[in-house]
A and B are shown apart, each in its own frame.
Chain A
Amino acid sequence: MPLKHIKWITGFITALLILPIAIGLVGTLLPAFHYFPPLGEYGFSVSPWINVFSQGEFYAGLKLTLITGIGAPILALWLALSLLAWGYQRPFFKKIEALLSPILAIPHAAIAIGLLFLLSPSGWLVRLFSPWLTGFERPPNWITVQDPYGASLIFALIIKEMPYLLFVMLAAMKSIQARESIHACQALGYSRFTLWRKVLIPQLYPIIRLPIFIVVAFSLTVVDLALVIGPNTPSTLAVTLFRWFNDPDLTMRYTASAGAIALMITIAMVLGGWELAHRAFSAATRCERSNGKRRGASDTLLGAGVIIGLITLVSAFTALILLPFWSLAKRWRFPDTLPSQWTWVNIERAAPLLMELSANTLIIALFATVIACGISLLMLETKRHQQKSSTNHEQQHAFDWLIYVPILLPQIGFLFGLHVLLIYLNLNGDLCAIIALHLMYVLPYVYLTLKGPYLAYNEDYLLQANRLNHRPWRHYISVKLAMLKPALFTAFAMGFSVSIAQYLPTLIAGEGRYSTLTTEAVAQAASGDRKQVGSMAMLQALFPVMVFWLAQIIPSRWTTWRLATKKRIIKAFTKKDKTCSA
């Protein structure tokens, strides 16, 4: 990009990134101390904190949040590492790798709804074994989903997080020369799992630390997933806060804001504790790593992780496959494994609603992602200029850490703080506001997906193009961006799926005036109308998978298609000429 005034642009984008974060934080912090001009409160006091700490719900919620928010990442990390150690560079593992991106693309609410269909007492798993094995003629009186311990929530979180971690690890493997290490260790007689634990995982962990932190922060603060499959009364802290923020009694907002600050502090403390635990663990195991033992008890642990990991992956797929079953079922009585009668009527009846929801979802996703792609390109171009002019290539750019802040902060609280700003700007309930909030969460993923390929681009092509024919802007698009098509399309697909999954940003900025597939599916998940919820979740899953699929096939075939079309047009013209002259 032939940019001028790089410093100004960098400053402007930095301000653009910081501003919403700062306002969101201030907008949460001030009400937490009872300062809230919109309600005419100008005095500071600590009463919101006293309120929070006197609520039994706060402690119960915090306990559940800590159990699910720490348990899920640890388990997901264990399973992902086990699967990686077991399958890395084995031929069949390529197939599992190929399955990762659809699971990654699918909004977590859709997976949670699928799990609900699979695991609930009247779900498919019980049906599969009833009545021939279990003897159940009607659904058992068990609590399998939304259990008070958060086990089903942990399971849902693992299904979402394990593929993500696996994906990140596979990308990181390239930078640690894993193949050489594996060969060297195998030659020394180390078992596969032991060599992974002693040699590769210690190298891998520092590279994937940040993605792990994102996963931890997500687990501690997730709202939509917890609403669908998490425990209620008491629910996790994030869900409790969500209820308080939406309380008709507006003074609950102060308590909720204080709770949101408490949740932020919790995240910081858990992440700090996580890092300390990691350091202590690696210090404690350092000597053990070089004790020369070729196999050990950890082999069993990783082996068990493989089995559980595979079961998790299979349940994720079964859950997804179940979504269309429900939307096409006419009659599906309890112990039947499959619907006894099929119909399109459910979908036909829901069609107007589904069309409206899909239109909203797609418009928001499209705008947010296209804008995010534009901003990412601008950011990466300024970063490239800075890298070129400085001798220290490893220098961290402000963007590189700033971009993570919105993902690490809890949406709950933070977004309500921003909502106050939207009210001031008279943008509350506006489509632009929804797109802007989506942009905040889409941008980091688009930027991070695009970063590697963009900075690795061989700039000589662009320089040569401009030497041949000096048109910097045009060539930036027709040469550089055209050559980066695969990366651009993947980044777009990534942003698109992130946008479709957003629940709180849509709800808070839209104030319920704009519903998307996600907000409606989450709202109705508990309604019991499985046929309608199934249709919504199915569409919600379908769009990202389709966009990912298109992003895979279009760039590699684009040039061939373009040339073939051109040839056909030329042929048509010459034929016409001939007939004219004849």
Chain B
Amino acid sequence: MLRVNAFSLSSNDKTLIQNLSFSIADGHVLSIMGPSGIGKSSLLNFLSGTLSPSLTVSGEAFLNDIALHTQPTETRKVGLLQQMPLLFPHMSIIENLLFALPDKTRKPDRLPLAHDALKRLGMTDKANALPKDLSGGQQARVALLRTLLSQPDYLLLDEPFSKLDPALRRDVRAFVLAEIRQANIPALLVTHDSDDAKAMEGECLELSIVKF
């Protein structure tokens, strides 16, 4: 369970978000919508621990009642998926997946685990392909599985579908939701598209400009 308490964000004395609180149960996706520039991405940066120092924030975040906001990024075990799939172009697909497996995974288990992930994608023939040989939809799916293989404790999705064409979007959305349910971790989705929010079958928060 991911819980955010009284989150406020301001930039250059301009309040963007005030007193936002929510909680997300394991295996569920909370969607956040709102106009651009409202601070959606900053909320994700707050949760992942990469907030730019020029912004002022207050508020708390807890994962299973353990404080997150006091930890540095590297100990938070956060998974983040962005618009760009960010697959490493100089590594094959299987290498990209192996890259994400935690150190503690035993050596003989590593390759089978990565191959299992490929099988779930239905792309076993692409193990030695390079990211540039994959379609946009395939790249998005590999990127999600790569993130999940790193066994994050919670997942942040920053408009991960916006670069896909509409026909693909539906498939990828369903795939993402199914995988999140299987991994049984809380996920937060930031999007412009209300269809994204609907497809995630969870709560949806609309952020609007703070008025005084």
Q: Does A55 reach chain B (CB closer than 8 Å)?
A: no
Residue of A nearest to B84 (CB): A460
Q: Which residues on B sit within 8 Å (CB–CB) of A485?
A: 90
Is A467's CB under 8 angstroms from B78's CB? Answer: yes
CB of B190 to closest CB in A, whole Å? 16
- A114 to B90, alpha carbons, bound, how many Å? 42
Residue of A nearest to B80 (CB): A467
Is A468's CB under 8 angstroms from B147's CB? Answer: yes
Q: Does B54 reach chain A (CB closer than 8 Å)?
A: yes
User: Of residues 45 to 92 in A, which have CB atoms within 8 Å of B's CB atoms?
Assistant: none
Q: Which residues on A sit within 8 Å (CB–CB) of B54?
A: 391
Q: Does A567 reach chain B (CB closer than 8 Å)?
A: yes
Q: Which residues on B sit within 8 Å (CB–CB) of A558?
A: 90
Is A464's CB under 8 angstroms from B90's CB? Answer: no
Residue of A nearest to B130 (CB): A559
Is A483's CB under 8 angstroms from B90's CB? Answer: yes
Q: In the complex, which range does the number of interface residues on chain B fall in? A: 20 to 34
Q: Does B99 reach chain A (CB closer than 8 Å)?
A: yes
Known: A464-B80, A559-B130. A469 touches B86 (CB 8 A): no
Is B128's CB under 8 angstroms from A461's CB? Answer: no
Q: Does A463 reach chain B (CB closer than 8 Å)?
A: yes
Q: Does B150 reach chain A (CB closer than 8 Å)?
A: yes
Is A470's CB under 8 angstroms from B74's CB? Answer: yes
Residue of B nearest to A472 (CB): B74
CB of B53 to closest CB in A, whole Å? 7
Q: Which residues on B sit within 8 Å (CB–CB) of A467?
A: 48, 73, 78-80, 150
Is A469's CB under 8 angstroms from B90's CB? Answer: no
Is A464's CB under 8 angstroms from B86's CB? Answer: yes
CB of B74 to closest CB in A, whole Å? 4
Is B88's CB under 8 angstroms from A465's CB? Answer: yes
Q: Does A482 reach chain B (CB closer than 8 Å)?
A: yes
Q: Does A191 reach chain B (CB closer than 8 Å)?
A: no
Give 1 or 0 for each of B43-67: 1 = CB within 8 Å of chain A CB.
0000010100110000000000000
Chain A: interface residue total (CB-CB under 8 A): 21
Residue of A nearest to B54 (CB): A391
- A466 to B50, alpha carbons, bound, how many Å? 12
- A142 to B91, alpha carbons, bound, how many Å? 63
Known: A460-B86, A559-B90. A466 touches B74 (CB 8 A): yes
- A567 to B95, alpha carbons, bound, how many Å? 12
Is A468's CB under 8 angstroms from B99's CB? Answer: yes
Q: Does B102 reach chain A (CB closer than 8 Å)?
A: yes
Give 1 or 0 for each of B68-91: 1 = CB within 8 Å of chain A CB.
000001100011101010101111
Q: Does B40 reach chain A (CB closer than 8 Å)?
A: no
- A469 to B101, alpha carbons, bound, how many Å? 8
Give 1 or 0 for each of A439-475: 1 = CB within 8 Å of chain B CB.
0000000000000000000101101111111100000
Interface centre among B80, B88, B92 (most CB of A within 10 A): B88
Is A469's CB under 8 angstroms from B84's CB? Answer: no
Known: A460-B82, A463-B50, A563-B128. A469 touches B88 (CB 8 A): no
- A466 to B84, alpha carbons, bound, how many Å? 16
- A482 to B101, alpha carbons, bound, how many Å? 20
Q: Does A389 reach chain B (CB closer than 8 Å)?
A: yes
Contact residue among B79, B92, B147 (Cβ-Cβ distance under 8 Å from A563): B92
Q: Does A479 reach chain B (CB closer than 8 Å)?
A: yes
Is A469's CB under 8 angstroms from B102's CB? Answer: yes
Is B100's CB under 8 angstroms from A469's CB? Answer: yes
- A559 to B80, alpha carbons, bound, how many Å? 26
- A472 to B99, alpha carbons, bound, how many Å? 13
CB of B37 to closest CB in A, whole Å? 17
Q: Which residues on B sit within 8 Å (CB–CB) of A479?
A: 88
CB of A236 to closest CB in B, whole Å? 49
Q: Does B206 reach chain A (CB closer than 8 Å)?
A: no
User: Of residues 128 to 144 in B, which have CB atoms within 8 Å of A's CB atoms?
Assistant: 128, 130
- A567 to B94, alpha carbons, bound, how many Å? 12
Q: Which residues on A sit within 8 Å (CB–CB) of B78?
A: 467
Is B128's CB under 8 angstroms from A468's CB? Answer: no
Q: Which residues on B sit within 8 Å (CB–CB) of A464?
A: 80, 82, 86
Contact residue among B89, B130, B146 (Cβ-Cβ distance under 8 Å from A468): B146
- A389 to B54, alpha carbons, bound, how many Å? 8
- A391 to B82, alpha carbons, bound, how many Å? 24
- A83 to B128, alpha carbons, bound, how many Å? 46
User: Of residues 145 to 161 in B, which have CB atoms within 8 Å of A's CB atoms?
Assistant: 146-147, 150
Q: Which residues on A sit within 8 Å (CB–CB) of B128?
A: 563, 567
Q: Does B165 reach chain A (CB closer than 8 Å)?
A: no
- A482 to B99, alpha carbons, bound, how many Å? 14
- A460 to B88, alpha carbons, bound, how many Å? 11
Q: Does B125 reach chain A (CB closer than 8 Å)?
A: no
Is B100's CB under 8 angstroms from A468's CB? Answer: yes
Residue of B nearest to A475 (CB): B99
Interface centre among A465, A479, A563 (most CB of B within 10 A): A563
Apart from A467-B80, A470-B73, A563-B92: 12 A-B pairs, beta carbons within 8 A: A464-B80, A465-B88, A465-B99, A466-B73, A467-B73, A468-B147, A469-B102, A469-B103, A482-B88, A482-B90, A483-B90, A563-B130
Closest 4 CB pairs of A and B: A470-B74, A468-B100, A468-B150, A464-B86
The chain B residues found within 8 Å of chain A, CB to CB, are 48, 50, 53-54, 73-74, 78-80, 82, 84, 86, 88-92, 99-103, 128, 130, 146-147, 150
- Could you name 15 residue pairs across A and B whose Cβ atoms are closer than 8 Å? A458-B84, A461-B88, A463-B50, A464-B80, A467-B78, A467-B150, A468-B100, A468-B147, A468-B150, A469-B100, A469-B101, A479-B88, A482-B90, A559-B90, A559-B91
The chain A residues found within 8 Å of chain B, CB to CB, are 389, 391, 458, 460-461, 463-470, 479, 482-483, 485, 558-559, 563, 567
